[in-house]
Amino acid sequence: MAMQEPAECAVCLKPAATRCSACRLVPFCSRRCQTLLWPSHKVLCKRDPHVFYLPPMSPGDI
């Protein structure tokens, strides 16, 4: 079995600690990043959650 690389946060690309609790696909490093992405992610959550990713942000943006 190959080791899987840790997922990166969909917002800031830091190592993800959790995933969207609804679709279980989109990774997040923190509640803050999850909250930042939710307005766009909720539109397609459980349909095609990969569509609404924000571009990576710098630490100053978060």
- pLDDT band at 1; cut points 50, 70, 90: very low
Maximum Cα–Cα distance across the chain? 39
Mean pLDDT of 14-27: 91
pTM: 0.66
CA distances from 60 to 6, 19, 35, 36, 44 (A): 23, 23, 16, 14, 28
Any long-range contacts for 27-32 (C-beta under 8 Å, 24+ apart)? 32/62
Mean pLDDT of 12-28: 91
**Which residues are bridge partners to 1 per DSSP?**
none
